[in-house]
Structure 1
Amino acid sequence: MAELDREKIQTKLAAARTRLILDKPFLGALVLRLPMTEANPDWCRTTGTDARHFYYNPEYINSLTLAQTQFMLAHEALHCALSHFSRRQHRVLHRWNLACDYAINPLLVEDGLTPPYDTLIMDEYKGMTAEEIYPLLEEDDSQETIDEHLYDENSEGSGEGGGDQEPPPQPPEQEKEKQQQPRPGDKPQPPPPLTPEERETQEVQWQQRLAGAAQQAIQAGKMDGAMARMIDHLLQPRLPWRMLLARYMTAAARDDYSYMRQSRRSQGDAILPSLHSSEVDVVVAVDTSGSIRDREIQEFLSEISALKGQMRARVTLIPCDASIPEDAPWIFEPWEELSLKTKISSGGGGTDFRPVFQWVEEQSVKPGILVYFSDLEGRFPELAPAYPVLWLVKGKEKPPWGQRIQLN
């Protein structure tokens, strides 16, 4: 490629970055944190990032419009700001890469950016995180991400996936630096994947950058819509769903005071409040409409079973799709293990949450808490009940009332 062409490409990249800074200060502030580095087309088809640089194929940038170039700059910056390089955990690499792109691209489109023609976008994943999208993807999905995720093993040609394998041992720092130093005549080499220590450092840095960029955009009055909701969610303290579930259930069963008369020998004539603990009634409802997998149901029930013994809870288990099965509900005492009595299959009638709440109302019993495991795609009662309701949610939907815990 001629020198003049390279200068033209560099000018296009600089112009796209400047336009983002002016029009999209949140994204612009993040893009500024990624130095732009020309990459070898042998390992970079389009653009990519290792959480430290923005890598680009000059020929690819030359084929884009200025608006599409803005999209690619913002795309790489969001991968970093959302810490996609550190959130994969046990997930298979290729599916995780696809899920990350499906999570990012709708945000950028809704924010007014123009994607290249081969960008992965599906309306059904709009507003979902990569963790929520991942289990919805086919295991053998052969699609390719629009970019290169260079912070992980097997990142070259993002159709490869070996996410459950242990990464090979990294060379000592001095040897790694020596390997990265270019020699005369060498073509630029792909960056090595992040070490565990580098992932941790980069995650902290990008979280700080995310918060700072959001604050600047809010002050400029240019932060709203899906991007604002996503940032607000990310900046909230996050706890594992098991920890949140335990917190809400134990709060419902916490000790209380009683004014019953105690023994005169210990209390005299005065009636003083004394702390006592009692058994709590918990209703656990499971959406069996087919959108929740058996493995996920068993994992959920195992967690409830472990908690109920600690808090002396008497659990009523209610499976429900559009109706409650004839042989349900089932009642479990604190010392009994919680499990489905029979194999539950979808009734084919969709999801309706009302039968569970109707059943509770007919019993004239006010439970300490009702926990409902569902994707929330169904019909709700018009009014919230008088007892606390906790929704453990798979998917992106939100309930009209009650407390929501995201299941990732």
Structure 2
Amino acid sequence: MNSYHGIENKLSAARTQLILDKPFLGALVLRLPMKAANPDWCEKVATDARHFYYNPEYIEHLNVNEVQFVLAHEALHCALSHFARREHRNKFRWDIACDHAINPLLLDDNLTPPSGVWIEQSYKGMTAEEIYPYIDENNADEPMDRHIYEDEEQHSEGEQGSDTQAPSNEECDPQGDSGLDETQREDNFGGQGDEPQQNQATEDDLADQPPPLTDTEKQNLETQWRQRLAGAAQQAMQAGKLGAEMARLVDHLLQPRLPWRSLLARYMTMTARDDYTYSRPSRREGNAVFPSLRSAQLDIIVAIDISGSISDAEIAECLSEIDGLKGQLRAKITLLACDADLAAECPWQFEPWDEFYMPLAIAGGGGTDFRPVFDYVEQHDAQPDLLVYFTDAEGTFPKHAPHYPVIWLVKGKHHVPWGQRVQLN
């Protein structure tokens, strides 16, 4: 009993230090009640997006600083909704990608990883979805922890977690922290309200492995964790203790998640110049003059960042989507390719009846400068109805926005200084 009591004291000390030094991570850790787990299934630590499970012997061999890293790691898995974002991906590779997305952030926040935790700095700033394609199918790495929100037997592509366990009203309230007014909710985020109760574990009182989450539980927990993420970030910003990298991550995750295809169709449709005409009909149609809807041809410029930030497959997918919209809107398209400068073969022009595609493989890979595209428009005295730019938004922008609308289809988390930003991935 004394040994378990000392382990719980270590966990509490690590959590308290996180709350004081790193209120963003500390507020998230507070939302995960801690449970000592049976070593038969929990070798180190684990989470099911509702609890933090730990092997007492593993925690006993860590110092307080390393325990902080482990606590923050599990909390970020939940706050980033890794349990709800796997979709068709292989679970084992997805779990490794999620670990690689989190660990560089924690190291950058000056937390100390336990011995044996490998951190790949080349993945810094990348999401789990962006990292996943780089994880080889025969990868010999092991996840740092166990992610037990899904059936772990389902390792093949396209398989999803079990949906047999009924959701818990307490843990899956779709309103997140229902029953709390705004003041109480802020107190809980700051650690000043009622803390989740942790078990006083004994050797005969160790948690068994919980069942996988149902689809309903995943949806409700995702809503809860988004609310908690926003609250924790707000509190940390008020205290002036939210790092730049964490702030960009939070901003990226809290953006509206409408499919980029729907957003692109919406903006292109809004741009269509529809108007009514009262021109006299032919004599065969009678003498009455009725208003009729007439659509003018759209002039759209599509620019592609060929510095290497977007793959050929992604470009082809986006161009195919625009091709489908182009026919519906009667749009003429001018295609430009640019890295630090426009490609020598530019421009390519497509009439409304032409198929829109990438004419050839273009050698790019240089630095990224967006100004040549806008200079081209100005030099040719073009008056486009819309400019669509595919990019990672990491480059040099013109100082001032043009007089025509611009849509940025962005892969990654970088911001744009003006125009309409649509998340590509």
Q: Report the Cα offset of residue 50 of structure 1.
A: 0.4
- Percent identical pairs in the alignment equals 59
C-alpha distance in structure 2 between counterparts of 1:214 and 1:186, whole Å: 35
- Counterpart residue identity of residue 363, structure 2: S
Q: Report the Cα offset of residue 69 of structure 1.
A: 0.8
Report what 2:186 is aligned to.
none
Report what 2:410 is aligned to.
393
1:16 aligned to 14, 17, 21, which one? 14
User: Any residues of structure 2 matched to 1:1-400 within 5 Å, and which?
Assistant: 3-154=1-152, 161-167=155-161, 170=164, 188-255=207-274, 277-321=295-339, 328-342=346-360, 344-347=361-364, 349=366, 351=368, 353-377=370-394, 384-399=401-416
Deviation track 1:356-392 (CA, whole Å, cap 9, x = no partner) reads 4443334321211211212345565566544333221
CA, structure 1 residues 139+373, in 2 after alignment: closer, same or farther (shift >3 Å)? farther
C-alpha distance in structure 1 between counterparts of 2:233 and 2:396, whole Å: 36
CA, structure 1 residues 171+377, in 2 after alignment: closer, same or farther (shift >3 Å)? closer
C-alpha distance in structure 1 between counterparts of 2:299 and 2:403, whole Å: 14
C-alpha distance in structure 2 between counterparts of 1:29 and 1:354, whole Å: 42
Q: Report the Cα offset of residue 49 of structure 1.
A: 0.3
- Counterpart residue identity of residue 381, structure 2: S
- Counterpart residue identity of residue 115, structure 1: P
CA, structure 1 residues 190+132, in 2 after alignment: closer, same or farther (shift >3 Å)? same
CA contact (8 A) 2:83 2:218 kept: yes
Deviation larger for 141-150 or 8-17: 141-150
CA contact (8 A) 1:152 1:194 kept: yes
Say which SS state the counterpart of residue 85 (structure 1) adopts. Answer: helix
Deviation larger for 305-314 or 206-215: 206-215
C-alpha distance in structure 1 between counterparts of 2:372 and 2:89, whole Å: 37
CA, structure 1 residues 365+299, in 2 after alignment: closer, same or farther (shift >3 Å)? same
Q: Report the Cα offset of residue 13 of structure 1.
A: 0.7
CA contact (8 A) 2:301 2:387 kept: yes
TM-score, length basis structure 1: 0.80
Gaps of 5+ in 2: 169-202, 281-286
Q: Report the Cα offset of residue 308 of structure 1.
A: 1.8
CA contact (8 A) 2:387 2:405 kept: yes
CA, structure 1 residues 101+173, in 2 after alignment: closer, same or farther (shift >3 Å)? closer
Deviation track 1:301-340 (CA, whole Å, cap 9, x = no partner) reads 1111122223322111233455555554332222333122
- Counterpart residue identity of residue 336, structure 2: I
CA, structure 1 residues 243+118, in 2 after alignment: closer, same or farther (shift >3 Å)? farther
CA contact (8 A) 2:248 2:413 kept: no
- Counterpart residue identity of residue 22, structure 1: L
Tell me how many residue pairs correspond in the alignment.
384
Q: Report the Cα offset of residue 76 of structure 1.
A: 1.0
Q: Report the Cα offset of residue 34 of structure 1.
A: 1.5
- Counterpart residue identity of residue 165, structure 1: E
- Counterpart residue identity of residue 21, structure 2: D
- Counterpart residue identity of residue 130, structure 2: E
CA, structure 1 residues 153+27, in 2 after alignment: closer, same or farther (shift >3 Å)? same
C-alpha distance in structure 1 between counterparts of 2:276 and 2:123, whole Å: 48
C-alpha distance in structure 2 between counterparts of 1:213 and 1:385, whole Å: 37
- Counterpart residue identity of residue 86, structure 1: A
CA contact (8 A) 1:47 1:57 kept: yes
TM-score, length basis structure 2: 0.77
| Cα-Cα RMSD | 3.5
Deviation larger for 49-58 or 383-392: 383-392
- Counterpart residue identity of residue 322, structure 2: I
Q: Report the Cα offset of residue 151 of structure 1.
A: 0.8
CA, structure 1 residues 289+214, in 2 after alignment: closer, same or farther (shift >3 Å)? closer
